[in-house]
Amino acid sequence: MTLGISGHVLMQRAAAAAWRVLRARWPLARRLVVVCGSGNNGGDGYLLAATAREARMDARVIAPIAPRNAGDAVRARLEWLAMGGAILDPDAGFPDSDVCVDAMFGTGLTRQVEGSSRALIDALNASGRPILALDVPSGIDADTGNVQGAAVKAAATVTFVAHKRGLFTGAALNHRGEMTLDTLGLPDDLYKNSHPDARLLSMRRMATWLPQRRRDAHKGDFGHVLAIGGELGMGGAIRLCAEGALRTGAGLVSIATRVDNVSAINAARPELMAHGVKDTATLLPLLQRSSVIALGPGLGQGDWSRALCQAALAAGKPLVLDADGLNLVAARKGVQLPVQSVLTPHPGEAARLLGSDAASIARDRFAAARELARQYRAVVVLKGAGTVVAHPEGEVAVCPWGNPGMSSGGMGDVLTGVIVSLLAQGLNAWRAARFGVALHAKAADAAAEASGEAGLLASDLFPHLHNLRNARDASD
C-alpha cells in the first residue's frame, strides 16, 4: 500500500501507462509477446497483456517462472489466465510478433544475470522485433546503469513513479531507448518530501543563475581567465579551451603556452591574448592578473608542464583541471587544490586519480565521482555518456543531454573553457560545473541536429554555445 493506493491498483496504472506508450509508438502493431518475470515487474507485464487482449490484439505471454509468493503479481497472473490467456514455454522459441515487451526484472536487480534468464534476454535481443521495457531494461542495474552480464536492448522504456538514476549514465544509455516517465498518479507531496540520491540537471533553473548584463557593463566585470597548456604540437587544445571561455561570456581570456603556438593562435582568434611562456618566471605576472585558471589542455607531462602546474596550483585561485593537469596531480601525493576547484576527468583519468582502473569506474560512475570529490575536496565532472557532477559533500547531478558525436578530440578542452568562463563570471564551482556541463552537452546536441553526429568537431559547438549562453527562455 502506497499513500492509501493498493499495489494492485498501482500495477494496473503501470500497465495502462505502458499500453499508452506502446500504442503511441507502434500504432499499427497487432501481435504482442510479453516476457514476464516472477516479481511485480512481471505482474505489470501480465496486466499489459490483458489490456492488449481486451483491445483485440493477439497478445501472448512467456513466463519461465511463476510468481513465488502470494501477492499482486500472482493476482495479475491469475487474471491473465482467467481471461483465457496462455503462458508459453520459453524453450519453444518466440512466436511471431510486431512488438515484444520486457517485464522480466524491475529495479531490484543487483546480481549477474545467468542461466535461463540470460538465455531469454539473448533471445529477446535476437528476435528482430522492437522491445518495450517496463520500468528498467532487464539486466540493467537501476542504481548504476551497469549491465549485469547481459541486458535487454530496448527501443523504448516506460519507467514508473520516478526516474532511476542509472538509466541516465554509462552502458544503460545503449539499452534504454527512448524513455518515458509515468508517475502513476501519485501526489506531488510524495516528491516534495523525498531526498533523491541524484538529480537531473535542469536548464530552466540554471539559466537564472547569471543575471542579464547591465547596460554600463565592461569586460572587467566578467572575469579574466588564464588558460595554461599547449605543449609543442598541442596548441590547438589550449586554443579550443580559451575560445570556449570567450564564447560563453568571459570578459578577458589569456593563454600561457609554448612560444611556437602564439602566432597561430593570434592569427586564428585575435580576441585571445596568447603569451609565450618559457618558465614560471614568465608565468607569474599572468597568474597575478588572472581571476581564474584553466590548467591542462595540451599541457604535456614534461619538466615545463610540471613547473607550470605547480605554479598554477600555488596561485590559490579558482581552478579547472583537465587532461594532463589531472595526470600531473594524480602523479603527486597529497596535493592540496585551491578552494573552488573543478576536476573534469574522463574514466581513464578518474582511474589514475583514484589509483583504480577504468572498468571499476564504469561499474558505478556515481560512486567514483563522489569518491573523487571527497578525496580531492573539489567539484568533479566525470565525463562520458551521462556526465556525472559531484560535490565534495556528496550531492550528485547527472546530465541528460549529449550524443555520441562528442566522442572526438577537443570536446573536453571546450568543456574546460566553458566551466572556467562561468567561474570567471561569478558562479561558484558547484554551479559553474553543472551549468557548464549542460551548456556544453546541449550545444553538442544542437550541432549534431544541424549536421549529424559523425564528424562533429569541437569547434562546431562555438556558435551554439554563444546562443545558449544568451538564451533567456531556456527549456529542458
Residue ending a domain, choose from 164, 195, 226: 195
Is residue 268 included in any domain, yes or no? yes
From the list 155, 143, 77, 75, the residue with the least C-alpha distance to 106 is: 143
Separation of alpha carbons 84 and 379, rounded Å: 57
Q: Within a 10 A sphere around the Cβ of 75, how many other Cβ atoms?
A: 17
Q: Within a 10 A sphere around the Cβ of 236, how many other Cβ atoms?
A: 20
Task: Specify the number of domains making up the chain.
Answer: 2
Separation of alpha carbons 158 and 14, rounded Å: 9
Asked if 383 and 461 sit in the same domain, the reply is yes
The DSSP code sequence of 363-382 is HTHHHHHHHHHHHHTSEEEE
Q: What single DSSP character describes residue 300?
A: -
Q: What single DSSP character describes residue 5?
A: B
Query: Could you read off the pLDDT tens digit of each residue along the chain, which spans 476 residues?
Result: 456 789 899 999 999 999 999 999 999 999 999 999 999 999 999 999 999 999 999 999 999 888 877 689 999 999 999 999 989 988 888 889 999 999 999 898 888 999 989 999 999 999 999 999 999 999 999 999 999 999 999 999 999 999 999 999 999 999 999 999 999 998 877 777 778 899 999 998 898 899 899 999 999 999 999 999 999 999 999 999 999 999 999 999 999 999 999 999 999 999 999 999 999 999 999 999 999 999 999 999 999 999 999 999 999 999 999 999 999 999 998 899 999 999 999 999 999 999 999 999 999 999 999 999 999 999 999 999 999 999 999 999 999 999 999 999 999 999 999 999 999 999 999 999 999 999 999 999 999 999 999 999 999 999 999 999 998 667 78
From the list 373, 364, 371, the residue with the least C-alpha distance to 384 is: 364
Residue indicated by cell numbers 572498468? 359
Q: Can you tell me whether residue 173 is helix, strand or coil?
A: helix
CATH code of 404's domain: 3.40.1190.20
Q: Within a 10 A sphere around the Cβ of 463, how many other Cβ atoms?
A: 14
Separation of alpha carbons 417 and 242, rounded Å: 6
Asked if 234 and 116 sit in the same domain, the reply is no
From the list 265, 274, 259, 256, the residue with the least C-alpha distance to 236 is: 265
Residue indicated by cell numbers 569541437? 458
Asked if 385 and 447 sit in the same domain, the reply is yes
Residue ending a domain, choose from 195, 222, 256: 195
CATH code of 132's domain: 3.40.50.10260
Is residue 2 included in any domain, yes or no? no
Strand partners, 199: 397
Separation of alpha carbons 367 and 423, rounded Å: 25
Asked if 139 and 281 sit in the same domain, the reply is no
Alpha-carbon distance values, 449 to 25, 237, 405 (Å): 22, 25, 10
Round the CA-based radius of gyration of the chain to a whole number and report it. Answer: 26
The answer to whether 361 touches 147, Cβ cutoff 8 Å, is: no
Is residue 389 included in any domain, yes or no? yes
Asked if 334 and 455 sit in the same domain, the reply is yes
Is residue 357 included in any domain, yes or no? yes
pLDDT at 66: 85
Dihedral, 17, 18, 20, 26 alpha carbons, nearest 10:
170
Separation of alpha carbons 438 and 435, rounded Å: 5
Residue ending a domain, choose from 195, 223, 240: 195
Nearby residues of 62 by Cβ (< 8 Å), 6 or more positions away:
33, 34, 35, 36, 87, 88, 89, 90, 94, 120
Q: Can you tell me whether residue 61 is helix, strand or coil?
A: strand
Q: Within a 10 A sphere around the Cβ of 70, how many other Cβ atoms?
A: 8
Asked if 417 and 322 sit in the same domain, the reply is yes
Separation of alpha carbons 148 and 110, rounded Å: 7
Separation of alpha carbons 440 and 233, rounded Å: 25
Asked if 353 and 420 sit in the same domain, the reply is yes
The answer to whether 337 touches 346, Cβ cutoff 8 Å, is: no
Alpha carbon 221 to its chain's center: 32
Asked if 29 and 53 sit in the same domain, the reply is yes
Is residue 475 included in any domain, yes or no? no
Is residue 476 included in any domain, yes or no? no
From the list 271, 251, 275, the residue with the least C-alpha distance to 262 is: 275
Give residue 207's identity as a one-letter amino acid code: A
Separation of alpha carbons 444 and 174, rounded Å: 18
Give residue 371's identity as a one-letter amino acid code: E
Asked if 295 and 190 sit in the same domain, the reply is no
Q: Can you tell me whether residue 15 is helix, strand or coil?
A: helix
Asked if 259 and 119 sit in the same domain, the reply is no
Asked if 311 and 410 sit in the same domain, the reply is yes
From the list 292, 290, 378, 21, the residue with the least C-alpha distance to 178 is: 21
H-assigned helices in 83-140: 115-126
Is residue 1 included in any domain, yes or no? no
From the list 227, 196, 248, 195, the residue with the least C-alpha distance to 435 is: 248
Asked if 343 and 295 sit in the same domain, the reply is yes
- 397: number of CA atoms within 13 Å, CB side? 22
Is residue 152 included in any domain, yes or no? yes
**Which residue segment(s) compose the domain that 265 sits in?**
203-470
Separation of alpha carbons 441 and 345, rounded Å: 16
Nearby residues of 463 by Cβ (< 8 Å), 6 or more positions away:
none
User: Has this prediction a pTM greater than 0.85?
Assistant: yes
Q: Within a 10 A sphere around the Cβ of 65, how many other Cβ atoms?
A: 14
